Chain A
Amino acid sequence: MKWLELFLRASTPTDRFVLGISAAGILSSGWLITSEPGKRAVVFRDNRPVMTLALDQDRKQEVSGRLGPVIIQVEQGRVRLLEYQSPRMIGTRTGWIQGAGRATACVPCGVLVRVEGKQKGSAPSSAHEFDAVSE
């Protein structure tokens, strides 16, 4: 263990303490990065799952809705519905969603997109920190 003897000779106890803290911090940074679970969104047509989208892969995906194609956009871990314009397309009001349990939908198209996982916060109809919004 020649390198260890060299290190002990060349460093003070303070140096070794700082080095230990550094190592602990660097290891914990690895935990910080890797502990966030990968997110996916499930796409439902008439309440039946039709596909799953990984939220870490930016893309535009077309799905078949009751009234024609519906475009789902994934970007930077978020997902939203595009294209279909209707007062009843709740997706246009919801905009981007990303939290687990959040959902966006095109009601007349019968298309619902829900981020997998347990809800942590608001209900899907809410753009704020509410359990629900009455409208």
Chain B
Amino acid sequence: MKPWTRWLGWLGLFGLGMLFLLVSRLPGEPEAEPPLLETRLLMGTLVSISTWGVEEKQAEAAMEQAFAEMSRIEGMMSRFIPTSPVSGLNDAPRGAFHTVPAELISVVSKGLEIGQLSGGAFDIGLGPLSDLWGFSREPPPETPPAPDALKKWREERDRTPGPGIELASDNRLRLTGPAIGLDLGGIAKGYAVERAMEMLRQAGVVNALINAGGDMRIAGSKGGKPWHIGLRDPRKPDGVVAVMDLTGSKALATSGDYERFFMADGVRYHHILDPKQGGSSRSGLMAVSIQAADSLTADALSTAVFVLGESAGLALLQQFPGCEALLIREDGQMVQTPGFVATRSKTP
């Protein structure tokens, strides 16, 4: 064989390899179009909206409206925005009624209802206690509040009967004691996600997923394929302990002791506060996920069940037909109600 023919052979083999690569890149079986995704920083978290099955411009316009709606609600219900009606109430002297937006009354009313059903485990009046703990501060706290400050809060709270939040006709609301201040952190994000999904629906988007820092709302599917959702491992930030393939209209919310926390003297102090104890809830749970028909209920119940613990928490769920839960105990064991849609996983 002539030497140049041998080289030509090698060149041919190379060419065949490249052709193989080329063919492998060509579209074969048509794949489902991936969802369109937009992300924003809103409500103190990363909010992402995925849509499927609508033309790009229509989807972008719809997502813009959904983000705008969430931003509007944040402007109304955040206690960290000085101009919000919630901040106005918290800054005002206690005892007098104030007129607030009807929408705020509606959310507060729902919060009070879940608070009552949970025996006070869910409390939207913990603003001053949350300020004492400072889990929303930057930099985050490294030590618990001074015992004297907590004792003072406890004494003032005990002097205020009931939830300390009263509603009256004509959209009026008042806070009745100095230990009370609106903190809608356990419910407003769920409401905002619900409203955002409504905006998408009105804009003709029927397949969507909204994820606001773990508060999720799902509609439809991805061309018949379910939305594929992981549930974070409470102790491994990159791990997933369960997988949920969801379709149709569903909400999902998770509360865990790993979202905002610090360790002091070997003790984990986290942001889910027990109104009765005045400190981080010690209910034997690391995380609670709730599947419900709407995000507001899922959001509030995930906190309420976390604070109540396994036994009382599951009893509370009996009062909310259609709501399902997955609980992760402190030892890592998982408990889930029969209707909770999830496949166990230990993906590292």
Interface on A for B, CB 8 Å cutoff?
15, 18-19, 21-26, 28-29, 31-32, 44, 46-47, 67, 86-88, 90, 93, 101, 103, 105, 107-108, 110, 112, 114, 118-121, 123-135
Contact flag A15-B5 (CB < 8 Å), given A114-B39, A124-B37, A135-B256: yes
B19 touches A24 (CB 8 A): yes
23 CB-based A-B contacts, threshold 8 Å: A15-B8, A18-B8, A18-B11, A19-B8, A21-B15, A23-B15, A26-B18, A28-B19, A67-B138, A86-B138, A87-B261, A87-B262, A90-B45, A107-B44, A114-B39, A121-B34, A123-B37, A123-B209, A131-B35, A131-B229, A133-B229, A134-B229, A135-B231
Q: Given that A18-B11, A88-B44 are known contacts, is A134 also in contact with B230, CB under 8 Å in the complex?
A: yes
* Interface segment, one of B84-92, B183-191, B232-240: B232-240
Q: Which chain B residues lie closer than 8 Å to A24 at the CB level?
A: 15, 18-19
Task: Say yes or no: B50 contacts A21, CB within 8 Å.
Answer: no
B140 and A87 within 8 A (CB)? yes
B interface majority secondary structure = strand
CB of B252 within 8 A of chain A? yes
**Complex-state Cα separation, A121 to B252, whole angstroms:** 21
In Å, the complex CA distance between A1 and B130 comes to 88
Question: Given A118-B36, A123-B211, A134-B216: A19 and B238 within 8 A (CB)?
Answer: no
| Top 5 closest pairs, chain A to chain B, by CB | A25-B15, A25-B18, A18-B12, A22-B15, A135-B232
Q: Which residues 136-156 of B have a CB within 8 angstroms of A?
A: 138-140
Cβ–Cβ contact A103 & B39, under 8 A? yes
Given A25-B14, A108-B138: 15 more A-B contacts, CB < 8 Å: A23-B15, A26-B18, A29-B21, A46-B41, A88-B138, A105-B39, A112-B39, A120-B34, A123-B37, A123-B48, A123-B211, A133-B231, A134-B216, A134-B254, A135-B214
- Least CB separation from A104: chain B residue: B46
**Nearest B-chain residue to A88, judged by Cβ:** B260
- Residues of B close to A44: CB separation below 8 A: 41
With A25-B15, A28-B19, A125-B211 already in contact, the answer to whether A134 and B37 are too (CB < 8 A) is: no
Q: What is the distance, in angstroms, from A3's C-beta to the closest C-beta of chain B?
A: 15
For B140, list chain A residues within 8 Å (CB): 86-88
Number of interface residues, chain B, beta carbon within 8 A: 58
Which residues on B sit within 8 Å (CB–CB) of A46?
Answer: 41
Nearest CB to that of A110 among chain B residues?
Answer: B41
Q: List residues of chain B with CB within 8 A of the CB of A88.
A: 44-45, 138, 140, 260
Does chain A have a CB within 8 A of B259? yes
Chain B's nearest CB lies how many Å from the CB of A4? 17
Is B16 an interface residue, CB under 8 A from the partner? yes
Interface centre among A31, A124, A125 (most CB of B within 10 A): A125
- CB atoms of A124 and B48 under 8 A apart: yes
Contact with A along B254-268 (1 / 0, CB 8 A): 101011111000000
A46-B41, A112-B39, A118-B36 given as contacts; is B230 within 8 A of A28 (CB)? no
One of B15, B36, B41, B216 near A132 (C-beta < 8 A): B216
Q: Nearest CB to that of A91 among chain B residues?
A: B46
Which of A19, A31, A93, A125 is within 8 Å of B48, CB to CB? A125
A14 smallest CB distance to B (angstroms)? 9
Residues of A within 8 A of B230 (CB): 126, 128, 130, 132-134
Q: Report the separation of the CA atoms of residues A110 and B9 in the bound assembly, to the nearest whole angstrom.
A: 59
Tell me which residues from 218 to 257 in chain B have a Cβ below 8 Å from any Cβ of chain A.
Answer: 222, 227-232, 237-238, 240, 243-244, 252-254, 256
Q: Is B347 among interface residues, defined by CB-CB distance under 8 A?
A: yes
Q: Which residues of chain A are near B346, meaning CB under 8 Å? A: none
Please give the distance in Å from B61's CB to the nearest CB on chain A: 16
Q: Are A28 and B139 in contact (CB under 8 A)?
A: no
Given the complex, which residues of B lie within 8 Å of A108, measured CB to CB? 138
The reply to whether A107 and B41 form a contact with Cβ atoms under 8 Å apart is: yes
Which of chain B's residues have a CB closer than 8 A to the CB of A19?
A: 8, 11-12
In Å, the complex CA distance between A83 and B252 comes to 32
Q: A21-B15, A22-B14, A135-B214 are in contact. Are A31 and B232 (CB under 8 A)?
A: no
